[in-house]
Amino acid sequence: MAGLSLKKNLLTLVLVVILAGALVPGNVKGQNCGCQAKECCSQHGYCCTSNDYCGPGCQEGPCTSGSSVVDIVTDDFFNGILNQANEDCSGKSFYSRAAFLSSLSSYYQFRSGSADESKREVAAFFANVAHETESLCYIEEINGGSQDYCDETNTQYPCNPDKKYFGRGPLQLTRNYNYVAAGNSIGFDGLNCPETVATDPVISFKTALWFWMTNVHQVLNQGFGATIRAINGAIECNGGNPGAVQSRIQYYTQYCNQLGVAPGDNLSC
């Protein structure tokens, strides 16, 4: 009898757990979201349509807090950057808002919570992109073909002798180890096909977001200057290249003004 009672209790517990899970609304996918078209991805990474999900901290979807990247990076904002590039720039027919938004599907954490924090992150990301590519003009580093940027000391990722690892994409991905790491994360052969970053616009933006989320996103609370240091600090910061630093800052403050958000402190590195 005791054994039968125990089995009944266990069965009851299992049914309670199943029913509890079924009653939780909108938890389609956890952490990485992947919500349906009309659902919001909450700040904790779950999907639903209620105000708790679409309000402050909403990461994606029809967010009511105004912090959705889709709402921030409008056609006018993106094209305003692209239109600064010369008409004969290769990036004019390569980079697009659609490609950028498509690349976000792999990086739901690319926003920091509140509307203002999200706007500052967007401004910081595109300020560095605009500087690196001269307003989305360049897909590849100027004269990049003259250098291969192979770090031969990195024996874990031996370079393909037929390939070069110069800067490509919105944040000018460089070095064999970065191409491999980005490729492994995104899903392309960075070691043997680094040119993919210059031929596939979605992968190109994904490499920029990969680098940003891996190396830059976590220092945003230290001010814009910290993003410069994370990207190119060894060359530009501490007086290394003050002109480049000021260029990045100028873009950042311009985009913050456009988005109606204060740029914050610690702008320089």
Selecting among 132, 140, 141, 236, the annotated active-site residue is 132
Instruction: Tokens for 232, please give them.
Output: 């190119």
Sign of the C-alpha dihedral, residues 54, 56, 57, 59? positive
Query: How many whole angstroms separate alpha carbon 260 and alpha carbon 240?
Result: 31
Tell me the DSSP string of 85-101.
Answer: S-TT-GGGGT--HHHHH
Query: How many whole angstroms separate alpha carbon 147 and alpha carbon 167?
Result: 10
Is 267 buried (19+), middle (13-18) or exposed (0-12) by CB count in 10 A?
A: buried
Check: CB of residue 64 under 8 Å from CB of residue 55.
yes
Query: How many whole angstroms separate alpha carbon 222 and alpha carbon 111?
Result: 15
Tell me the DSSP string of 133-200.
Answer: HTTTT-SB-TTGGG-----TT-TTSPPPTT-----BTTTTB-SHHHHHHHHHHHTS-TTT-GGGGGT-
Asked about 132 being catalytic, the answer comes back as yes
Q: Which amino acid is at 92?
A: K
Measured CA to CA in angstroms, residue 12 lies from 4, 9, 19, 21, 110 at distances of 12, 5, 11, 14, 42
Query: How many whole angstroms separate alpha carbon 56 and alpha carbon 256?
Result: 20
- The catalytic site residues sit at 132
